[in-house]
Amino acid sequence: MKLFLPLTSLAAAIALAASTQAVAQTERVINVSLPLGPDSQQGIGVLKFGDELERLSEGRLTIEPHYDNALGAEREVVEGMGFGIIDAGISSTGPMGGFVDEFMLFDLPYVFENHEHAYAFLDSEHGEELARLAEEGMNVKFLAWMENGFRHNTNSVRPIEKPSDLEGINHRTQESRVQVDTWEALGANATPMAWTEVYTALQQGVMDSQENPLATIYDVNFYEVQDYLNMTQHVYSPAPLMMGLDLFNSFSEEDQAIIMEVPCRYSVRPARS
């Protein structure tokens, strides 16, 4: 009897430790990279995503947002997710064309007439195919097509009223050969540049011009270093919310279902694949 109680206590302690470890193994903080700040549409959307994810998973899954490309420029974030270095993140579609050619579609000017036209495309089998190609070519899981908006031109040289007004303007593009070819065809001097370098380049006069949706232009204070906003609305640019595919596959089927359900509860476009 003298040995029985200690052994029973030891067995109970081992069982409790094993149970606690099993619970801990199902808990996960998902680090999410964002190009913009906490007050942007991306920041607000990701926080809503995180709140609902935590609620539906009963606290097992939470997020840690990292704003203003703190984990790297968009191309680096996409690569990092594919390699399993970064958990999840948002990227505009521009850098993604460097991995999967089909994403260059979003760099072609005046493909989409308005938001409804773009949404219909993203919700169709074409959007599903792009999500599948992203899995194959980038090793990422599409969670949602987040709103980014139509891109507009800003510059510090002159208003743009006709294509010839772009002649000689030094214009920053994303790392997309379609963007470079398009702006050079219009007469601008196009240079690809990482997003993290753009504000300083405009401030110092290295670049004269850039293009982005209105919310992004406001969020990063481009009005401080640019004199002209030209409402060109030339490209619709969604911003997919993605997760590293290996990380996604490591979750239980129950948690995978929760992760994919959350975007359906908000105004982001849930990815279908």
pLDDT tens column, 171-191: 999 989 999 999 999 999 999
Work out the average pLDDT over 76-91.
98
Check pLDDT > 50 for residue 10: no
Give SS3 for 71.
Answer: coil
Work out the average pLDDT over 222-246.
97
First to last CA, the chain: 61
Question: Which domains, and CATH codes, for the chain?
Answer: 28-148+238-270 (3.40.190.170), 150-236 (3.40.190.10)
Question: Taking a C-beta distance cutoff of 8 angstroms, is the pair 203, 172 a contact?
Answer: no
pLDDT tens column, 24-53: 447 999 999 999 999 998 999 999 999 999
Question: CB neighbours (10 Å) of residue 185?
Answer: 12
Q: What predicted TM-score, i.e. pTM, was given to this entire model? A: 0.84
The position carrying tokens 């690569």 is 79
CA distance 70 to 59: 25
**How far are the Cα atoms of 125, 136, 149 from residue 234, in angstroms, in the given order?**
24, 29, 11
